[in-house]
């Protein structure tokens, strides 16, 4: 099985709705083992082939918990090189968080990032949820080896 993690932070539920749709999209791809969670230990993180991170923007930044999480991963030399990374999140007016996450995944952890950040203003409507589903599906499909 190919393993994909959707790891998210959401205070009022908007990014959580996005995360559920991303996970659903990934699950629509055959052979995909998808975990949806707001926490994952660093030891377990290395067991995933892809990490799709969902973060709401607060104070023009990513959540402090995620900042510390990635700092700890860097200090402990957690090896994510070559794994697939993507990011999304709800925002109100500036929406920096998913972009910041992608920069870290790509530049610090040398993950393979192909999708641009997916940002949705406040609560996702059906069109937004479809975009989230599409993101999850495309990331999952990219993990399936072509024969």
Site residues, ligand FMN (CB under 6 A): 10-15, 56-60, 90-95, 122
Q: Tell me which residue has its CB nearest to ligand FMN.
A: 92
Q: What is the dihedral of CA 121, 124, 127, 131, to 10 degrees?
A: 80
Q: Minimum Å distance from CB 113 to ligand FMN? A: 21
Q: Minimum Å distance from CB 98 to ligand FMN? A: 11
Class of residue 72 by CB neighbours under 10 A (exposed 0-12, middle 13-18, buried 19+): exposed
Closer CB to ligand FMN, 58 or 142, in the complex: 58
Closer CB to ligand FMN, 14 or 84, in the complex: 14
Q: Minimum Å distance from CB 125 to ligand FMN? A: 13
* CA separation for the pair 98, 119 (Å, rounded): 7
Closer CB to ligand FMN, 59 or 108, in the complex: 59
DSSP β-bridge partners for residue 113: 85
Structural contact between residues 112 and 83, judged by C-beta atoms closer than 8 angstroms: yes
Q: Minimum Å distance from CB 101 to ligand FMN? A: 14
Antiparallel, parallel or unpaired: β 84-91 and 112-113: parallel
């Amino acid at each position: 099985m190919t393993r994909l993690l959707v790891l998210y932070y959401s205070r009022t539920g908007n990014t959580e709705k996005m995360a559920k749709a991303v996970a659903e999209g990934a699950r629509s791809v055959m052979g995909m083992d998808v975990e949806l969670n707001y926490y994952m230990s660093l030891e377990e993180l290395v067991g995933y082939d892809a990490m799709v991170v969902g973060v709401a923007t607060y104070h023009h930044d990513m959540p402090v918990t995620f900042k510390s999480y990635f700092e700890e991963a860097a200090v402990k030399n957690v090896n994510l090189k070559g794994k697939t990374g993507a990011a999304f999140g709800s925002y109100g007016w500036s929406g920096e968080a998913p972009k910041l996450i992608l920069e870290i995944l790509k530049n610090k952890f040398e993950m393979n990032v192909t999708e641009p950040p997916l940002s949705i203003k406040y609560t996702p409507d059906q069109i937004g949820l479809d975009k989230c589903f599409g993101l999850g599906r495309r990331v999952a499909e990219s993990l399936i080896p072509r024969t």
